[in-house]
Amino acid sequence: MLSKYSGFYIEGAINTIIIAFFTVILGTVVGLFLSLMKLSKNKILKFIASTYIEIIRGTPILVQLYIIYYGLDYTGIRLPGMMAGILTLSINSGAYVAEIIRAGINAVDKGQTEASRSLGFTQGATMRYIVIPQALKNILPALGNEFVTIIKESSIVSVIGIAELMYKADTVRGNTFEPFTPLIIAAVMYFVMTFTLSKLIGKFERRLGASDSR
C-alpha cells in the first residue's frame, strides 16, 4: 500500500535537498560576513556580530521560524513558505558557520599575513587571497558537517506546511493510518542523503589532501 506513495517521498526528498542547498550557500555567506565583522577592530561591528551570534545560537530554531513566517506578516511582509524556511535556516546556520570560519581564520599562520602585508598587500587583499582560501580548506570538514545538520534540521519547516520529506511522511501517515512505517521510510531516506553527502565530502577532502602533498 505504501508503494503507491513513493512519488510523495521522492518529491519530499527533492524539496529537502533544495532547501539544504540554498541554506548552505546563504548560511555560508552570512557566516563569512559575521566572522569578518567579529574579527574586525571596529567595536561596533564586533558587537553587532557577537550579539547576533549569541541570540541566534541561544534561541530555538522553531521560535525563529515562527518569527520569520508569522511575525513578519504583522509588518505586511508575507513570505512564501519555502522562502521563509530557507531564510530561517540560513539565519540560524550563519551564526554557527561564523564561528567555524572565525576559528579557521585564526588557525592560519600569522606569519603569512605579515609576509603578505610586507609585500604590499592591503588588509582586504590579504584576507581575500591569502587567509580566507586557506581557512576554507581547513574548515571544510566542519562545513560539511553543517550541511549534514541542515538536511536533518530542514524537517522543522514541515510545521509551516513546506512539503519536504517529513511533511510528506506525515501526509502518508494520515492517508494510510500507518503510525510508524512512513516515519521509518523517511528516516532511511534522511540517512541515505546524509551518508552519501558525508562520503562525497570525505572524498573531496582526500583529493585536497593529495593536491597539497604534491
- Residue 212's pLDDT is 56
Determine phi and psi for 109, rounding to 5 degrees.
Answer: -55, 125
The band of 2, judged by pLDDT with boundaries at 50, 70 and 90, is: low
pLDDT digit string, tens, across residues 110-133: 777 777 767 777 777 777 767 777
pLDDT in tens, 146-202: 888 898 888 888 888 888 888 888 888 888 888 888 889 899 999 999 998 888 888
The predicted pLDDT at position 91 comes to 94
Q: For the chain, which domains are there? A: 2-110+118-213 (1.10.3720.10)
| Mean pLDDT, the chain, integer | 84
Give me the torsion for CA of 183, 157, 136, 96, rounded to 10°: -110
Average pLDDT over residues 3-31: 88
Among the ranges given (5-14, 40-49, 88-97, 109-118), the one the predictor scored with the smallest mean pLDDT: 109-118
Single-letter amino acid code for the residue at 74: Y
Please check whether residue 146 is in contact with residue 24, taking contact to mean a CB–CB distance below 8 angstroms.
yes
pTM: 0.82
CA angle 194, 200, 201 (to 5 degrees): 90
> What is the pLDDT at residue 209?
65
